[in-house]
Structures are given as structure tokens and as C-alpha cells.
Amino acid sequence: MQILKRYRWFLLLVMIFLIILGFQKSIAFDAIKITGDSLLSMLMLLPPILIFVGLLDTWISQETIMKYLGDESRFLSVILIFLLGSIAAGPLYVAFPIALLLLEKGVRTQLVVFFLGVWVVAKLPIILYETVALGLVFTVIHISLGLVFFYYLGFYIEKKVKKLPENLSIE
């Protein structure tokens, strides 16, 4: 029952898929192919990222993290978070485990929101794509507005959030 509840949305989509398979075979086959491709690229990214996160969690102490990402070194912490967010590649769900690790290590919520914001607007490989496809002016406005916006959104969310949900790494 527990398993059924955890997978309810997935099962709903499987049902939709089966209905489509009954009516529109070619769309259903496309869906299988695209799902397979995204599963593959997820498996190329997420497990190693989770291993990095796990190793960082056990090897790097809270004190070390806070030395660089704490409030005492405000300027440095913003720069480091920016670099961390912009060198990375991959969809947003890959950034979530990293963001969660930062929160668990005591990094303030404002910086974590900023990290997700950088990930969303200013990933380096993406910037090149964007400039080529949509032009420099478009890209510069997108990135600079995004950085400022998510920097300040972080303060707002930090004020509203009380505590983290239960630990995900326990059974």
C-alpha cells in the first residue's frame, strides 16, 4: 500500500500512456523512446552527483563549509555559490540534492535559493546556446535580471521558511 501511494503519480501516467497506446500507437512509441532517452541522460547525471553529495557530506565538515559559505565571509560566499551554480550542467532536479546538502550543512536559505537561481539562468554551457539562438541583448537581460531577482527572492524565502522536511537519507 505504501509503495502504491508513493508511485501514484507514476501509475497515473502509466495509465494515460496505456490509453494513448490504444488509440495512437505512433505517439505511444515516441513517448517510450523519449522516456528512455531521458532516463538514460538522468542515469548519466544523477547517480554520480549523488555520490559527490554523499562523499562531500561525510568528508567535509560543517565548519569547513561555513568558513567559506557562512555569513562571516559574505562576499566570498556569494561568489562561490555563483561559481558552483554556473559551472554545473543539467536539469533543475540535479541541482536539488546539491542545494539540500548546502542547507543541511548550515548554509543560509538565501544563498541556496540564489544557487538554484544561478542554475536556472546562468549555466555557462547554456549561455552560449542562448546567445547564438536568441541574441546577446536577450541573453544579457535574462541573466542579469535573473541573478538580481533570485538573490533577493532568497531573502524573502529565508524569512518564510521555518525548518527543513525530514531527512531523505534515512529509511
Question: What residues numbered 55-114 form the site for another protein, per CB under 8 A?
Answer: 55, 57-59, 89, 91-93, 96-97, 99-100, 103, 109, 113
* Residue among 66 and 157 whose Cβ is closer to another protein: 157
Q: Is 2 in the site for another protein (CB under 8 A)?
A: no
Of these, 114, 115, 150, 151, which contacts another protein (CB under 8 A)?
Answer: 150
Q: How far apart are CA 103 and CA 65, in angstroms?
A: 11
In the bound complex, what is the minimum distance in angstroms from residue 76's beta carbon to another protein?
A: 24
Q: How far apart are CA 6 and CA 146, in angstroms?
A: 34
Of these, 33, 61, 71, 79, which contacts another protein (CB under 8 A)?
Answer: 33
Total number of residues binding another protein (CB under 8 A)?
81
* Residue among 10 and 75 whose Cβ is closer to another protein: 10
The stretch among 68-76, 79-87, 138-146 that binds another protein (CB under 8 A) is 138-146
In the bound complex, what is the minimum distance in angstroms from residue 83's beta carbon to another protein?
A: 17
Under 8 Å CB-to-CB from 13, ≥6 apart: which residues? none
